[in-house]
A and B are shown apart, each in its own frame.
Chain A
C-alpha cells in the first residue's frame, strides 16, 4: 500500500470471529515501534508506519507471525436502534435491489431490517461505519460509476456489505433508504464524536416503506 503503509488481509470468511481478531490485532499493532496508525477494515487492517524508522519487510513478517496468535476477544458494544424510511427519493435503488433478489420492495425492506448488524469498521467518512450481517439474498454489486448522494444517513448496499452514509458525496453503492431522523454522524467536539463504533450492534426500525 505505497511507501508508508501495509494492508493486512485476513484469510477466511468475512465473519464476526475473524473481525474480532482484526480488532485485537489493531490494538496490538498500535503499540509497536514506528507505527503511526492501524485502521480496521472489513477483515483487513491498514497499518501506516514511519518509513524512516520502520522496515516494511520486517513489519510484514511480524504481522504474519502475530496473526495466528491473536485471540477472538468479545467486544462490549452497544445496541443502537435507528428509524429508517425505506425507498423513496433517498432510497431510489430499493426497486433494483428487490428485482435482483426476486422480492417486492416491501419484502426487501423487511428482510434488511430483520437483522441486527454489527459495526465492523469505520466508514469512508467518520460517524457510522461498515455493517456486517447482510442477508446474502440482498447482495448487490456496486455501480459502474459513483453517483452523487445529497444527504447523510443514506442506507446503502455495496456488494456483500451494507452501511449508513456519513457524508454527502459520490458513492458507488445502491441506496435503499434513509434515516428518518437526521443525525450528525461525527462531531469532533462531541463526546463521543461518532454515533457508532466498531463492535456496536445496529437495529433498523422500519418507519415507512415508500415503494
Chain B
C-alpha cells in the first residue's frame, strides 16, 4: 500500500493503454512514455504492462505503508527516499514508513513510479489506465490527490538485491535514431498519411525540413505545434475516421496538432503523417518550447524500430533477472 502525500493536479495511474474498446469510441490512454513505464516494470520483475504512476507535475511525494520494491524511470526527477538521492532509471527496496519525493526534472517531462506487483486498481474495459478527459479507469477515474491510498498487486519478485538495479536509459540505448546534428532538436520518425500528397510542395517541404516548436497548449490529449502554417490549395471534405496516437493533423489554421494518448478517438482534419509508435515516448518527454523535426520512414522501417525497442526491453528484463538471481525459467 502506498499513500499519496503531496501531488499537483494531473498525475495519474497508467498502464500501456486500452485496446479493444474502440467500438465504443474509447481511445487508448496509457503512459505517454511507454518505454519508461515498461522499463520500470521489468526492473521489478513485473509484466511490462503493469500499472504505474505517471508523474508530470511536481513535487510529488508518497509514503509507503508496507515494504515494497519500487522503480523510478523516465525524466530524472532527483528522487529521494527518506532523503537519500536515488540514481535515475533505478529500482530499490522501500520500507514501510519511508517517504519518496520527486522534484521537477532538469530535462524531460514525465517520470514513472512503478511498484512490485503493479498498482492494483480495477480493470476497466481491459486496462487500468486513467482517461482524464472523460473520467474513467485508473484510481476512481481521476487524477491522484493527496490522501489517496493505492494497493499493490501480488509481486512475483518481492525484493530487489541490496543496492538496487538500474537500466541504461533509452535516450542512450535508443539514441541513434534521434540524433541529427542540432542537439536540442528531437527527431521523430513519421509515416506519411492519407492527405500528405494533397499538400502543395511548399507545405510538404516546411513539414519535413523545419523545426516545429511544441506550444504551451500541449498535454496528454495532444501537442499543438508552432511553425510555418501548412495549407492545402483547396479544402478537402474528409469523412471522420478513427485516429491513433501520434497522428499529425492539420486544421485550417495550418498549425499541426499531434494527437496523443488521451486524444479523441476519431477526427476529420487532414492528416499529413503519423509519428511511429517506437518514437511516441520521445514526445512524452518533450516539454512546451521543445523543438521537433520529422523524418519520413516506411511502415517496414517503423517495424524495425519497434523491434529495436523490444530488444532493448528484453535486455533490461534479462539483466534485471540476472542481478536478482531469479531461477531461470
**Which residues of A come within 8 Å of B, CB atoms?**
1-5, 7, 9, 14, 26, 36-44, 46, 48, 51-52, 56-57, 121-127, 129-130, 141-146, 158-161, 166-167, 169, 172, 186-189, 193-194, 198
16 cross-chain CB contacts under 8 A: A1-B244, A2-B302, A4-B302, A14-B239, A37-B19, A46-B22, A56-B303, A121-B240, A126-B134, A144-B251, A145-B252, A145-B253, A158-B240, A169-B264, A186-B136, A188-B137
Query: CB distance B22 to A2 under 8 Å?
Result: no
Given A46-B242, A51-B302, A159-B268, do A7 and B22 touch, yes or no (CB 8 Å)? no
Shortest CB distance B188–A (Å): 11
Q: Which partner residue on chain A sits nearest B190 by CB separation?
A: A2
Given A41-B242, A161-B240, do A166 and B25 touch, yes or no (CB 8 Å)? yes
CB within 8 A of A172: which of B136, B251, B266, B299?
B251
| Distance of A44 Cα from B266 Cα, bound (Å) | 11
Query: CB distance B22 to A125 under 8 Å?
Result: no
| Stretch in contact with the other chain, from B275-283, B285-293, B318-326 | B275-283
Q: Which partner residue on chain A sits nearest B265 by CB separation?
A: A124
Query: CB distance A52 to B266 under 8 Å?
Result: no
Query: CB distance B310 to A129 under 8 Å?
Result: no
| Distance of A48 Cα from B26 Cα, bound (Å) | 14
Query: CB distance B265 to A194 under 8 Å?
Result: no
Given A48-B244, A122-B265, A130-B240, do A188 and B25 touch, yes or no (CB 8 Å)? no
Query: CB distance B193 to A142 under 8 Å?
Result: no
Across-interface contacts of A40 in B (CB, < 8 A) = 23, 242
**Which residues of B come within 8 Å of A, CB atoms?**
19-26, 124-125, 133-134, 136-137, 191, 193-194, 221, 235, 237-244, 246-247, 251-253, 264-269, 271, 274-278, 299-300, 302-303, 305-307, 310
Query: CB distance B244 to A46 under 8 Å?
Result: yes
Beyond contacts A7-B194, A51-B302, A188-B124: 16 other A-B pairs, Cβ-Cβ < 8 A, are A1-B191, A3-B302, A3-B305, A37-B19, A39-B242, A42-B240, A124-B265, A125-B134, A125-B264, A126-B21, A126-B24, A143-B252, A145-B252, A169-B133, A169-B221, A169-B264
Query: CB distance B244 to A127 under 8 Å?
Result: no
Shortest CB distance B7–A (Å): 23
Across-interface contacts of B235 in A (CB, < 8 A) = 141
CB within 8 A of A3: which of B191, B221, B265?
B191
Given A3-B276, A36-B19, do A193 and B24 touch, yes or no (CB 8 Å)? yes
Across-interface contacts of B194 in A (CB, < 8 A) = 1, 7, 9
Query: CB distance B277 to A2 under 8 Å?
Result: yes
Query: CB distance A3 to B247 under 8 Å?
Result: no
Given A121-B266, A159-B268, do A1 and B251 touch, yes or no (CB 8 Å)? no
Q: Which partner residue on chain A sits nearest B124 by CB separation?
A: A188
| Distance of A48 Cα from B27 Cα, bound (Å) | 12
Across-interface contacts of A159 in B (CB, < 8 A) = 237-238, 268
Shortest CB distance B222–A (Å): 10
Query: CB distance B299 to A56 under 8 Å?
Result: yes
Q: Which partner residue on chain B sits nearest A144 by CB separation?
A: B252
Interface centre among A4, A26, A43, A141 (most CB of B within 10 A): A4
Across-interface contacts of B124 in A (CB, < 8 A) = 188-189
| Distance of A52 Cα from B23 Cα, bound (Å) | 23
Query: CB distance A39 to B23 under 8 Å?
Result: yes
Query: CB distance B240 to A41 under 8 Å?
Result: yes
Q: Which partner residue on chain A sits nearest B194 by CB separation?
A: A7
CB within 8 A of A2: which of B25, B134, B275, B307?
B275
